[in-house]
Chains A and B, each alone.
Chain A
Amino acid sequence: MINLQSTVRISLRALRVNKMRSALTTLGIVIGVGAVIAMLAVGTGASEQIAAQMSSMGSNLLIILPGATTAGGVRMGSGTQPTLNMSDAEAIRKECPAVSDVAPVLSGVAQVVYGHLNWSTGVEGTTPGMFNVRDWPVASGRLFTAQDVKSATKVCLLGQTVVDNLFGGQNPVGRIVRIKKIPFTVIGVLAPKGQSPGGRDQDDRIYVPVTTAQKKLFGTPFPGMVRIILVKARSTDDLGRAEQQINELLRQRHHIGRKEENDFTVRNLTEMMQAAEQSTKVMTLLLGAIASVSLLVGGIGIMNIMLVSVTERTREIGIRMAVGARTWDIRLQFVVEALTLSLIGGVVGIILGITGSEIVSALFGWPTVVAPFSVILAFGFSGLVGIFFGFYPAYKASLLDPIEALRYE
């Protein structure tokens, strides 16, 4: 039996003889492997981005929106009716066992001034519960407290984007900014959070105590009214239970009869995000599957060329058989040849796939992540393709009649 090292040398030489042909044959695998890796990189990048956004949003999150107003048969869409207030939030926190914390929010847009610079941004009045619900720590300074909310103090927390636009390089903690011309003391800067799942900049925001917002900034005719209530469930498993408990509680509090519709909506953001993540995963799989088709086509290309090669080298096969090559010596020679083609294609394809996904990242700004598993998968798959599609030509070669093969012109 011939040793493997010699077989590999023979195969490499045979491939070198027809450089152009070998290169073109390999190209099929290069494109296949490259496509698989790039597609999986785009898909993995997308789902990792969603996962990151999910954790930036805060985990196990529910949002309660006020219901739709109906005026003369015209329904205005959810959030237009002032049905939620501070005591709803407080009741949810106290009476729903599946809820770990709540954060009522009253928000608006306001012009903020510091020195000679000004910036228009979202101002949200809320309670300290917000930073627990959204898993959001301060980068410097401190959060406001329940006491701040109680006494409606004029303090604020700035998002990083606001700091960048108003303060340049200075430390804003302790400074006074004017929101709607009212002076507020900056007590802290929040840690950067990046984009929301909807694409909004979550750092372009100012947080003030909810009571301050109600009394000083966005006065409403309904005392204690809030725009939304954020709720954190105790765990992912508790999300459904929390939703149900909130529904029951608010229906009771808002005196909603059996047949009447809710005047509020509870949205399960975590569930929505999980659905999004799931669909991205399916997408990734689909892209990968489509890319594997090109890998398959590349494999067929290898088989085609190997069949041509076996026919062309019939005489060589005859000579080898005459001097004592056994069935498996011949088979191995051609399988190794096909395998060499496909593995070279695999390596080049991996390089191409990685570069390709970086180019996609750079050009379109899509996040791409080349997972090591996808590289191993693509490389292993290209090897299997080589063996699978190389075997039939090798098998054919090994069954040639030595006399016929020696006579072949």
Chain B
Amino acid sequence: MAIMEVDKINKVYRLGEFTLNALTDVTLSIDKGEFVAVMGPSGSGKSTFMNILGCLDKPTGGQYFLEGTEVGRLGRDELAGIRNKKLGFVFQGFNLLSRTSAMENVELPMLYDGLPAHERKERALMALKSVGLEGREGHHPNQLSGGQQQRVAIARALVNDAPIILADEPTGNLDTRTSAGIMDLMVRLNSESNITVILVTHEPDIAAYSKRVIKFIDGRIISDTAQDGSA
């Protein structure tokens, strides 16, 4: 069953007299539990595509169904609610709150979900444990290594039981060995918890972890191929 479905979406930026077609008639369907890598050179529209999938941006044309709901026309706060409940983000630059402990960073989505403090604590601890950061709850981001910070970000993405994780170059700031650790974690979440993972990368060895590779050039999908994901 398709968890995400985009139908002929367009994204047009108007810069004065110029118009820039960032995405042109992109049609795609992703099933629950898939592990998808989105590839392409910079400026190919893959980031724009991810922002739309992540409900951070709206398409200028076409339709986007997330778990059967058309989200392209929803308002700011409704999109915020969807990001909170259904989507987990992992960014290249980690994007953790710097003066806040790992624990509180992981609690953040639950804060906006209005969960009571004790439940937030409990679930944050579990999420940190599941990414292998037991005992680091009180550490601030600047006391953690890059790989550990990214694990905190993954724990934050997981904690609200989001069915989808969107990762934008998650290993871009990490060395090869740490990258492998992070990717192994993603693969494990995908296979064990049946979480749909969508990954943007320009590194073929990172894309090799996925089971499906979609390539963008000039705002269009030029290839969509399945692979065994045995990197």
The interface of chain A, by Cβ under 8 A from chain B, is 1-3, 6, 13, 17, 315-316, 318-329, 402-403, 406
Contact = CB atoms under 8 A, between A and B. Distances in A.
B56 A324 contact: no
B13 interface: no
4 closest A-B pairs by beta carbon, nearest first, are: A324-B84, A324-B112, A323-B109, A326-B77
A406 B90 CA distance: 12
B53 to A, nearest CB: 13
Interface in B108-166: 108-109, 111-114, 117, 156, 160
Contacts of B77: 326-328
Nearest to A315: B95
For B95, B113, B160, which residue has the most chain A Cβ atoms within 10 angstroms? B95
Contacts of A328: 77
Contacts of A327: 76-77, 80
B65 interface: no
Contacts of A323: 83-84, 89, 108-109, 112, 156
A322 B51 contact: no
Contact of A2 (B85, B91, B114): B114
Contact of A403 (B57, B81, B84, B114): B57
Given A324-B81, A325-B80, A326-B81, A319 B95 contact: yes
Contact of B99 (A13, A315, A324, A402): A13
A86 B76 CA distance: 91
Interface in B80-104: 80-81, 83-85, 89, 91, 95-97, 99-100
Given A321-B80, A403-B51, A326 B112 contact: yes
A13 B95 CA distance: 19
Contact of A324 (B51, B57, B91, B109): B109
A50 to B, nearest CB: 56
A115 B152 CA distance: 96
Contact of A322 (B81, B83, B111, B113): B83
Given A3-B114, A322-B83, 5 more contacts: A321-B83, A323-B156, A327-B76, A329-B112, A406-B95
Given A322-B56, A323-B156, A406 B91 contact: yes
Nearest to B120: A6
A6 B111 contact: yes
Nearest to B157: A323
Nearest to B109: A323
B94 to A, nearest CB: 10
B69 to A, nearest CB: 16
A402 B56 contact: yes
A368 B85 CA distance: 59
Contacts of A13: 99-100
Contacts of A2: 111-112, 114
10 contacts: A2-B112, A3-B114, A319-B95, A319-B97, A320-B108, A322-B95, A323-B84, A324-B80, A403-B56, A403-B57
For B51, B100, B109, B112, which residue has the most chain A Cβ atoms within 10 angstroms? B112
Contacts of B76: 326-327
A325 B117 CA distance: 17
A2 B113 CA distance: 7
For A322, A327, A328, A406, which residue has the most chain B Cβ atoms within 10 angstroms? A322
Contacts of B54: 322
